[in-house]
Structure 1
Amino acid sequence: MGLDISYYSKIKRIGDADGETEYADGHTPIYVNPDFLAQADGLSDGAYTYADGDGFRAGGYGGYNAWRQWLAKQAGYRDIDAFDGAVAPDSPFLPLVNFSDCEGVIGAETSKRLAADFAAFADKVAGEPSYIAKFHEWKRAFEVASNGGAVVFH
């Protein structure tokens, strides 16, 4: 088990998440995690079309959380396992660091913010080469989703 990421540009809602919508090429289901509504940027559960899409494996849950801990430290966080809300709301990567490790969606506006964070840190990150490679996969995901799209966790 692990976390897979899909990302899309120019999404458009075409149906409810009631099981009656047929999913075909160019369609994807989106589930909004109720614990992270702010990151969804107003999206709702349902079927969506998209202009461009791709995805990657973020890793097993333990591996993803280790990577997320590394990302947080790149931005100067003390420890996400002891996250106490004392971090300023505009801190780099906060909408990703403080997000589900299993399911949900990050909408276009939050993706724009995260794309800017990833761009600002692209030449600064250091450490495990596999973590840096994963950093660039996430960077690409948020760049694409910034164009009216979404990053989907599943």
Structure 2
Amino acid sequence: MSSDGEPQGKNQVILSPVDFPERFRGLESGKVYQFDSSFDFRAGSYSGYNAWRNELAKLAGYQPSASTRNNVVESRYDETVWKLDHGPFWELINFSDAEGVIGPEVCRKVYRDFVQYRDQAAKVPDAYFYESYGDWMKAFEMCADNGAIVFH
């Protein structure tokens, strides 16, 4: 460890839960982790990622709920997910859009969701949605085996 508490080895990181500690299952807070491979991708802008999550919630069969943002009421699928405590992709949709860590136990569950809905996702006419779906699926597959997804 360096004097500022950072790991000094190549491909090392210290992980800690942020706002969703239950998503951290399978990891130890403050531990130095060594990784052999990584996969980075752009999940989109703030609004783009939120639109993608909404489409993912729709794909998974959630019903829409009224959502008020900036004094505008709209019907959103992800709004329904935020009111629940389980379901397909729940751990990803009901998670920070900016920072946090998802541990391997949760990654295994969400990866299974991606596999289950893959054929339906391929039928969504938006090419960006399916490309992002593939990136997320790859990330969850990699991390399901003692890895972690780190939002930053």
For the superposition of Structure 1 and Structure 2, which TM-score range results when normalised by the shorter chain?
A: 0.7 to 0.9
Deviations 1:18-72 (A, max 9, x none): 8323344311243411x21111115314542112212111111111111111101
In structure 2, the partner of 1:8 is none
In the alignment, which of 40, 53, 66 is matched to residue 55 of structure 1?
40
Q: Is the 8 A contact 2:82 2:94 kept in 1?
A: no
TM-score scaled by length of structure 1:
0.79
Measured in 2, the distance between the counterparts of 1:64 and 1:50 equals: 26
Measured in 2, the distance between the counterparts of 1:84 and 1:149 equals: 25
- Larger of the two Rg values belongs to structure: 2
In the alignment, which of 23, 37, 45 is matched to residue 21 of structure 2?
37
In structure 1, the partner of 2:112 is 116
In the alignment, which of 122, 127, 145 is matched to residue 129 of structure 1?
127
What is the aligned-residue RMSD (CA, Å)?
A: 2.1
Task: Give the structure, 1 or 2, with the largest relative contact order (CA under 8 Å, sep 6 or more).
Answer: 1
Measured in 1, the distance between the counterparts of 2:55 and 2:151 equals: 19
In structure 2, the partner of 1:22 is 7
Q: Gaps (5+ residues) in structure 1?
A: 1-14
Relative to its length, the structure with more strand (as a share) is 1
In structure 2, the partner of 1:81 is 79
Deviations 1:71-92 (A, max 9, x none): 011001222235552x362x11
Measured in 2, the distance between the counterparts of 1:53 and 1:74 equals: 27
Q: Is the 8 A contact 1:23 1:47 kept in 2?
A: no
Query: The residue matched to 1:59 in structure 2 has which SS?
Result: coil
Count matched residues: 136
Q: Gaps (5+ residues) in structure 2?
A: 65-76
Q: Which moved more, 1:49-58 or 1:110-119?
A: 49-58
Q: Which runs of 4+ in 1 moved over 4 A?
A: none
